[in-house]
Amino acid sequence: MSAPKILMQRGLDHPGKSHTLETYEATGGYRAVRKALDMDPLAIQQEVKTSGLRGRGGAGFPAGMKWGFTPRDSEKPKYVVCNSDESEPGTFKDRWLLENDPHTVIEGIMIAAIAIDCHLAFNYVRGEYSYQGQCFQKAVDEAYAKGYLGKGILGSDYDLDLVVHYGAGAYIAGEETGLLESLEGRKAMPRNKPPFPAVEGLFWCPTVINNTETLAAVPWIIENGGDAYAQYGTEKSKGTKMWSCSGPINTPGVYEVEFGVEMMGFVEEYCGGLMEGVGLKGIVPGGSSVPVMKPEQCQGARMDYEGLLERGSLVGSGGFIVIGDNVSAVDCLLNLAHFYAHESCGQCTPCREGCGWIEQLVGEIRNGNGRQANLTKVLELADAMAGKTICALADAMAWPAVAFIKNYPEDFAKLCAGGVDLEALGEAVSRHDHILPRAS
C-alpha cells in the first residue's frame, strides 16, 4: 500500500483550529486564488484539465472539462454552485470538510468562479447539516471581513459574493438539477437533460455545479500545477480521494488517500481492521447506490475508478460501508429500498412505483411471507428501472437490488416460504445483471 497523501485537508496539525482563517492562512491558504486572479481563466481551466480531477459527487465527470462547457461569450450571468447536499447513505466526507476545513472549500469555489467569470456563487448545504452549515457560514463571514469575498476580492477589481443556502432534507436535492430547482425556490424535481447546467443551469443561466470535495481539491491544483496533482493516484484516476468509512471496523472515519490503494490493506491500515469476532460479509465502497462487493471481490481490489469497475462496483461518493457477517443481505436491501422509496421524487413511473414495489417485495421476504417469485419480480423491476428515468435515483435502487440478490442468494433463500431453487434464481439473475456497471 502506498503512503498516504493528504492534499485537501489543511491544518490537520492544528487540532481544534483547522477551520479558522488564521490556521488556513498560516498553512498557505488563499495563495492559490491570488495566483488565479493573475491567470487567464482558460489557463485555470487547463490546469484543472491537466490535473485529471474528476467529480467526487458520484459520477466522476472531469471537472476541467465541465468548466470548459460554460459559454465564454454569454450575456447571461454565470453561476458556481457547490453541492454540499451529501445525503448518500454512508457518505460524510463533505461534512468533514465543511466542519474542519471550510476555507479550502471557499477558495475552491472562488477559483472556479474566476475560471468561468462568475460573480455570484452558492453553497447548497444539506438541511440536516445545520452545525456544518454554521461552520461554513462563519468561515464565509471571516472571508468577507478580510476582503477575500465581496467587492474587489483580495484587492483586485474582481467582485464575488458567496451565499450559503440550506436544503430542507431531501436526498433528491443532491441531484444537480433537483438542487438547482430547489435553489430557485421550487421542489427538488430533477430536470430532463440536456440541456446540462453548464449551458442552462441556475435560472437557466450557465452554471458550474461541483461537489464540495471536488472544489476542495482545486486550490492545491492551482498552487502546485495540474501536472503535480496528476503525479498522485493511478494513470486514469488522478489525485487523492476522501473515503468515509463506517461499519464494524475499529477506526471509522474519513481518510484521504491516493487513488489506487488496495482495498483490504486500506481496511487494515486505515479502518483498523474489523471488530473482534466479526467477519467480512462485503463492502459497499462508494455510498449506498453502488453494487456491494463480496470478500473475494474486495481482495486485491484497487480503490480507483477503473479498479472498482473491474470488480463490478464504483467509486461513487466514497461512502465506504463495511458489512459484517452478522448482518443479513435481506435487511441491507430492505433498509435501502425503504430509503429510496421514501426519497423518490415521483416524477418517473419506473422509479416512483418500482422503489416502493421492491420495498414491499423484500419486506414480504423479511417477514417470512415472500416466495421465489418475489425475487424474480425484484430483478425484473430493477431491469425496468435502470437507465430509464430522468435521474439516476432509479439506478441507485436497481443496482444494489440486483447486486445483493446476486451475491447473497442464500440469505434470501433462507427466508423465502417454500424454499428457493438457487439454480433458477441464478438464471434469473443472469437475465438481469446486465444493468450492473461493468468494465467494457
- Contact between 346 and ligand SF4 by CB under 6 A: the answer reads yes
- Contact between 345 and ligand SF4 by CB under 6 A: the answer reads yes
- Contact between 216 and ligand FMN by CB under 6 A: the answer reads no
Are 119 and 113 within 8 A, CB to CB?
yes
Q: Please enumerate in sequence order all residues whose Cβ is within 8 A of that of 297, keeping only pairs 6 or more positions apart, or say none.
A: 311, 312, 313
Q: State the residue for C-alpha cell 472531469.
A: 62
Q: State the residue for C-alpha cell 496539525.
A: 13
- Contact between 86 and ligand FMN by CB under 6 A: the answer reads yes
For residues 124 and 408, which CB has a smaller minimum distance to ligand SF4 in the complex? 124
For residues 8 and 348, which CB has a smaller minimum distance to ligand SF4 in the complex? 348
Q: What are the backbone dihedrals phi and psi of residue 418, each rounded to the nearest 5 degrees, phi first?
A: 80, 5
Partner whose footprint covers residue 56, from ligand SF4, ligand FMN, none (CB < 5 to 8 Å by kind): ligand FMN
Total of chain residues touching ligand SF4, rule CB under 6 A: 14
- Rounded to an integer, what distance in angstroms lies between the CA atom of residue 280 and that of residue 169? 32
Contact pick of 83, 244, 347, 372 for ligand SF4 (by CB under 6 A): 347
Give min distance, CB of 391 to ligand FMN, in A. 5
- Contact between 88 and ligand FMN by CB under 6 A: the answer reads yes
Are 317 and 286 within 8 A, CB to CB?
yes
- Contact between 385 and ligand FMN by CB under 6 A: the answer reads no
Contact pick of 11, 52, 57, 400 for ligand FMN (by CB under 6 A): 57
Residue 209: DSSP 8-state: E
- Contact between 177 and ligand SF4 by CB under 6 A: the answer reads no
- Contact between 388 and ligand SF4 by CB under 6 A: the answer reads no
- Specify the stretch interacting with ligand FMN by CB under 6 A; choose among 53-61, 130-138, 297-305, 428-436: 53-61
CA 342, 374, 308, 386 torsion-angle sign: negative
- Contact between 191 and ligand FMN by CB under 6 A: the answer reads no
What are the C-alpha distances in Å from 8 to residues 14, 68, 246, 395, 427?
A: 15, 23, 21, 30, 46
Q: What are the backbone dihedrals phi and psi of residue 45, each rounded to the nearest 5 degrees, phi first?
A: -60, -40
Strand order in the sheet with 319-324: 253-258, 240-246, 319-324, 280-284
- Contact between 396 and ligand SF4 by CB under 6 A: the answer reads no
Partner whose footprint covers residue 176, from ligand SF4, ligand FMN, none (CB < 5 to 8 Å by kind): ligand FMN
Residues lying near ligand SF4 in the complex (CB under 6 A) are found at 172, 190, 344-348, 351-352, 389-391, 393-394
